[in-house]
Structures are given as C-alpha cells and as structure tokens.
Amino acid sequence: MKIMVFSDIHGSLYYTKKVIERIEKEVPDQIMILGDILYHGPRNPLPKDYDPLEVVKLLNPYVDKTIGVRGNCDAEIDVQLLGYSGNKDTLQITFNNRLFFMTHGHIYHPDDHPVLEKGTVFVYGHTHIYQAERKDNIYYFNPGSVSIPKGGNPPSYGMIDDDELVIKDLDGIVLTSCRLKDDR
C-alpha cells in the first residue's frame, strides 16, 4: 500500500497544484493531510498564489482516499470546506498491521506525545522541517512543508510504501528515508 503524506500548504494554490501533480504521478492508495491547509497564519509569509478556496477545489476530488488532522492554523469553519473529515487533533490508523499516530505537531510532537507502542509511526507536520527516523522504537515521520519549508529545505512531501518512510521534494527526488523494521 502506498500512502502520500503532506502538510502545511497554508493556502498556496501554486504548491497545491504541485502536490496534485505528485498525486497523479505517485498514484497513492491513501492520502494523509497533516493540517495547516488553508490559512497561512500570522507569523508565516503569504505563500505563493495564496488562494484557499481554489486549494479546496483542487483537494476535494481526492476526498475518497483522504484522511487528515487539523493544524494550529486551521479554523473549524475552514476545515468544514474540505470534503474529508479533518477536524480532529489526532487520528490513529492501522496500515499493514502497524499503528500510525497522526497529529499536526502543535499539541503532540516528538518530545511530548502519548505513550506509544513499540514500532508505532508518529506522523506529524508543523515544524516545516522533514524527518524520517527511528528513535527508541518509535518512528518519527514529518513530510516537511509543501509551501513554506524551513531550515533551508525544499518544499517536500512524504511517501509510506509498505516498509519504508520516504521524503521527496516536489520533483519526486528522494531527500531521506527510513526502513520500517518488524520490531513490534
């Protein structure tokens, strides 16, 4: 099963179009959106081609394969425009017999999260810095930001492909990866 993961679009029509291009090339079975979809937030610069309503129009055709969580810049009223249920702060999903704990990252993050079972993948956004690594029997997976990356990183997204966590730039070039071990 292939799962595409992205976060922190912040209303950028330009980068949403890039994400849609990647969806069409990657053909994921499932899409995970980790919040901060429509609003850019008061501390972020206005992203390229800021147009939240058009972002909604581009994402909603994929609603049948999309799951997501709300970010700190996602107002409840805005999330209602999205066709998928993305109004929760956390979501726990099992894929390939492995638990995935999804959150945006502003409430729970790698340094402060609930007790998770060995082998869980903690999937989060918020920092705008990508990560794919294993620490203390937990996998930490952050796809970075589609529109406003930080730390000198390019815009990026993630792919979960059976037993591997992969971060790619918007041209599909692998930036980093981490293999999931059968350590549960």
Q: What is the CATH number of the domain that holds 156?
A: 3.60.21.10
Q: For position 46, what pLDDT does the model report?
A: 83
Please report which confidence band the pLDDT of residue 183 belongs to, taking 50, 70 and 90 as the band edges.
low
Q: For position 99, what pLDDT does the model report?
A: 92
Q: How many residues does the chain have?
A: 184
Provide mean pLDDT across the span 51-70.
94
**Is the pLDDT score of 114 beyond 60?**
yes
Domain-located, residue 124:
yes
Domain-located, residue 157:
yes
Domain-located, residue 42:
yes
Domain-located, residue 163:
yes
Decide: 177 and 133 in contact? Cβ < 8 Å. Answer: no
**Is the pLDDT score of 184 beyond 60?**
no
Q: For position 153, what pLDDT does the model report?
A: 97
Decide: 147 and 134 in contact? Cβ < 8 Å. Answer: no
How would you list the strands of the sheet with 156-161, edge to edge? 66-68, 30-33, 2-6, 156-161, 164-169, 174-179
Least trusted range by pLDDT, from 49-53, 84-88, 154-158:
84-88
d(CA 173, CA 43): 29
Residue 52 is part of which domain span?
2-179
Domain-located, residue 68:
yes
Q: For position 48, what pLDDT does the model report?
A: 87
| 74 token code pair | 């996602």
d(CA 73, CA 106): 10
Domain-located, residue 61:
yes
d(CA 75, CA 36): 9
Provide mean pLDDT across the span 16-41.
94
The Cβ of residue 20 has, within 10 Å, a number of other Cβ atoms equal to 14
Least trusted range by pLDDT, from 8-17, 70-79, 129-138:
70-79
**Is the pLDDT score of 128 beyond 90?**
yes
Domain count along the chain: 1
Domain-located, residue 184:
no
> What's the gap between Cα 169 and its chain centre?
13
Domain-located, residue 98:
yes
